[in-house]
Amino acid sequence: MSAGFALVLLAIGAYLAAHVAFDWIGRRLLIVSGAEYVLLGILLGPQVAGVLSSDMLESFAPITALALGWMGAIIGSRFMLTSMVRVPGVTWRIAFAESILTLCIVCGLELVLIRWLFGLSTARALGPSLALGAFACASAVHGIEFAVRRYGGRGPVAAQLRATAGTNLFVAVVTFGILLASSHPADRFNSRPLTPTEWTVITVAIGLVGGALFHLLLGNEDRVDRLFISLAGMLTLVSGAATYLRLSPVMASMFFGAMLANTSKQHAEIRSALKRVERPLYFALLIFAGATWRPSAQSAWLLPVLVFLVARGVAKVGGARLVTRANDMLPVLGPDWGRALLGQGGIVMALAVSYLYQHRLALPNVVFTAAVVSVVLTDLVSGRLAASVLVPAQPSVTDPAKASALAEVR
């Protein structure tokens, strides 16, 4: 099969899956489709059937870079400052505390385990540990949105879930971007190598400069079709520049999307254009990710993956309960609202694909396998986990503690 024909088939299949299966299944059964495409990619990849060969996957690199940039821009477009300032401060405190706590717990446990298991130095083991910590932060947005639309999205639990899911994605993307900036190879042509802080600033600047160029060239455009084509071209430029410099295309594109959402008069049209092909690109990325997967050469790869799954689950549920209690919001949110954050979502696969091509970082296959296994196990149930929290979340008016806390939040 030629690369062009395979790409056409993947595009058609992803489009149909996104606009038929995903919406229908999600609305009726609260099942977030996605994990099956990872398995399909594994079956089609060079490790099993060989339909998608290694050379063919390399020829799809520009499409992968565009998908990574598109997903980053969609994340950034959600950060509307005018909407965020209306959210109570306690909601953001809980969201950031839960994200940082999950990051630290998973990263710390994996650092100790990887050092002992693979005999790596602390500096060498920090890369995969921090990547897994960033992956653990991310939560599936679509599962929460499906549940919120079905059971109502005006309560404090729904608001907390939305804010926390967005914060999770922000922390995950920024942490991973800083990791790539910190491990950037020295440039032999410069008399003074750039510091990790400078590489991080360059990553952010790529997105902001891309947003400025978009305003300069298409600032007054309001037709969705032209905006779509322009966004595709600009995101190709932004993600391609970040990839060429060995930085994070997802982080650069996230700041690109955030800039457009907060500075453009056509922010609604831009978000609509971005959402047009979000799911097809996501499904294509999942298939590419599954096809790229290969078994780890390390014989003890299973233990870090198991620790990641268990530690993430404990950190999400236990960490959410702990920070909620510390902020005196337990009567409003309940003790188990963190279960809704267990779904992983597509951004983890985007970050995992980026990590897989960072040859200077240790254990790429182990880290990638952990992401694949987590998405496969949690993606399908993320909507139902969110629904299980939202359905019993309405506070009883006969409960004085709940009524008082709810009044303070509102």
Tell me the C-alpha distance between 27 and 48, whole Å: 33
* pLDDT value, residue 247: 92
Nearest to 370 by CA among 160, 136, 156: 136
Q: Give me the pLDDT at residue 305, please.
A: 92
The two tokens of residue 27 are 């609305």
All residues at 6 or more sequence positions from 209 whose CB lies less than 8 Å from its CB, including other chains: none
CA 354 to chain centroid: 12
CATH number 1.10.3470 is the correct assignment for the domain at 3-409: no
Res. 49 pLDDT band, cuts 50 70 90: low
CA distance readout (Å), 251 to 19, 290, 327, 354: 27, 22, 30, 11
Q: pLDDT by residue (tens digit) across 130-174? A: 999 999 999 888 778 877 777 766 688 888 999 999 999 999 999
In the prediction, which pLDDT does 406 show?
40
- Which has the higher per-residue pLDDT, 248 or 226? 248
What is the distance between the alpha carbons of residues 149 and 368, in angstroms, rounded to a whole number? Answer: 32
Give the pLDDT of residue 13: 56
- Which backbone phi and psi does 77 adopt, to 5 degrees? -70, -15
| pTM of the predicted protein model | 0.85
What is the rounded CA–CA span in Å between residue 150 and residue 28? 9
The pLDDT tens digits of the residues spanning 329-380 come to: 988 888 889 888 988 877 888 898 889 888 889 888 899 889 888 888 887 7
Identity of the highest mean pLDDT range in 60-64, 179-183, 297-301:
179-183
Residue written as token pair 């969705």: 224
How large is the average pLDDT for residues 83-96? Answer: 92
State what percent of residues in the chain have pLDDT above 70.
Answer: 80
Q: Of 352, 340, 349, 319, which Cα lies nearest the Cα of 393? A: 340
Q: What residues contact residue 118 under an 8 Å CB cut-off, 6+ apart?
A: 125, 298, 300, 362, 363
pLDDT confidence band for 297 (50 / 70 / 90): low
Q: Measuring CA to CA, how many Å separate 309 from each of 7, 129, 315?
A: 33, 13, 10
For residue 33, the model assigns a pLDDT of 56
CA count, 13 A, side-chain hemisphere, 256: 35
- Residue 49's contacts (CB-CB under 8 Å, 6 or more residues apart) are 43
Percent of the chain with pLDDT over 90: 32
Copy the structure tokens of residue 140: 């599936």
CA 320 to chain centre: 19
